[in-house]
Amino acid sequence: VNLKEGIINRRTIRTYTDQEIKRNDIIDILNHATYAPTHKTRQTWRFVLIDGRSKDKLLNDLDMILADVSPEEARIDYKKKVIASARAILVVFNEKSDDDPIYTLEEYGAASALIQNFQLLAFEKGIGVCWKSHLFLGKMATHIGIKENEMVTGALTLGYFDVIPNTKERISAESKLTIF
Ligand SMILES: Cc1cc2nc3c(=O)[nH]c(=O)nc-3n(C[C@H](O)[C@H](O)[C@H](O)COP(=O)(O)O)c2cc1C
């Protein structure tokens, strides 16, 4: 697939087949995705992969993990549905700094670029990705070992897919462009 077609045709995938994804395939895609730009080549991203039995255990433990969180915030049924329907979940972290907001933006930006690389490469292999910004915050992030100087860039639900959703048309760049 050429770059232009890859970018235009990639879609967020939220419905997956039952086929398991080999861990090595995910790691291979990640190793290519790490060629994303990163300020001073810091590469502060880190990943947690949840699949197979650890995903089943997470589903079992979810009520306990979110016991102290209000039902409106916890949205346990929604989280259970999303986690159960994915074959694997890759949580991406980036470093943050409480004193230096620019550092946090740089690291979030770099990890976001890595995620887009990952999405494009995965899509090319038939592996669908949905970037979830709300799935693994707070207690969920603590449960999987987020460090004090990290934030969640995104939780990527993964799985092979049969159906490609329609493209949501984009607003033209010209209409967003000011020639100064
Ligand atoms: C930072 C970010 C956060 C997102 N969070 C969510 C999310 O929480 N839940 C979800 O279903 N999709 C999420 N998405 C996916 C977008 O909804 C999706 O990219 C958008 O609808 C355009 O569709 P496309 O990716 O197929 O072009 C997120 C995307 C980005 C870039």
pLDDT digits (tens, 9 = 90+) for 82-121: 999 999 999 999 999 999 999 999 999 999 999 999 999 9
What is the average pLDDT across 148-173?
A: 97
Give the closest residue (by CA) to ligand 1 atom 15. Answer: 131
Which atom of ligand 1 lies nearest, measured to the CA of 13? 26
If one residue of 10, 133, 134, 137 were mutated to test the ligand 1 pocket, choosing by the most ligand atoms within 8 A of its CB, it would be 133
Closest Cα to atom 8, ligand 1: which residue?
132
pLDDT (tens digit per residue) in 23-82: 999 999 999 999 999 999 999 999 999 999 999 999 999 999 999 999 999 999 999 999
Burial code (b: 16+ CB inside 10 Å, e: under 16) for 144-179 equals: bebeeebbbbbbbbbbbbeeeeeeeeeeeeeeeeee
Q: Would you say the CB of residue 130 lies under 6 angstroms from ligand 1? A: yes
Predicted confidence band at 1 (pLDDT cuts at 50, 70, 90)? confident
